[in-house]
């Protein structure tokens, strides 16, 4: 899988409700370029969420392509993600894009990468970006040990922990959930 740094995105599906959150930091090299970037998009009239890590322009290109696939395949998120991953891996232009995505609805979460991976993660927790392992560990522990926490609470707490540890992740957290 591609290692993307400079952000943290976390998605949790719990009790039929999905939440995606991301920090707001954008960096250029080792300099903070902006501290309040929105890395989450609401798609398909609020039925699907997408979060991205990596180059913003590349991510927007991928999200546009993903929306085209959703339209072509009648909103089928998994099929659309697989078709996007195929194109991403095979297309000469797309192959150069440096980004990763998490896409989710209230039934499943998928991680999509340019190497052709479409991964449905264990425990309905997905993370990408430089702080992903910190957020993953925190979300797993919170979900397993605090059954009363909602998906939104788990995402917020996990991203806060990642921001405390990862220099490429800040505390300007943006959260989206499917209504």
Q: Is 31 a catalytic residue?
A: no
Torsion, Cα 47 60 172 21, to 10 degrees, reads: 30
Cα–Cα distance for residue pair 97/94, rounded to 1 Å: 5
Cα–Cα distance for residue pair 2/96, rounded to 1 Å: 12
Task: Give the residue numbers marked as catalytic.
Answer: 7
């Amino acid at each position: 899988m591609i290692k993307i740094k400079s952000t943290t995105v976390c998605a949790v599906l719990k009790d039929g409700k999905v939440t995606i959150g991301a920090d707001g930091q954008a960096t250029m090299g080792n300099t903070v370029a902006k501290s309040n970037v929105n890395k989450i998009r609401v798609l398909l009239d609020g039925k699907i969420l997408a979060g991205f890590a990596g180059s913003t322009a590349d991510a927007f290109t991928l999200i546009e392509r993903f929306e085209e696939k959703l339209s072509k395949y009648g909103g089928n998120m998994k099929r659309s993600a697989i078709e996007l991953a195929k194109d991403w891996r095979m297309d000469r232009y797309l192959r150069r894009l440096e980004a990763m995505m998490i896409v989710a609805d209230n039934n499943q979460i998928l991680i999509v990468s340019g190497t052709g991976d479409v991964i449905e993660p264990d425990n309905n927790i997905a993370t990408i970006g430089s702080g992903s392992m910190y957020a993953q560990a925190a979300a797993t522990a919170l979900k397993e040990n605090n059954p009363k926490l909602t998906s939104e609470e788990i995402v917020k707490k996990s991203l806060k922990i990642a921001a405390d540890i990862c220099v490429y992740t800040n505390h300007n957290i943006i959260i989206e959930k499917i209504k």
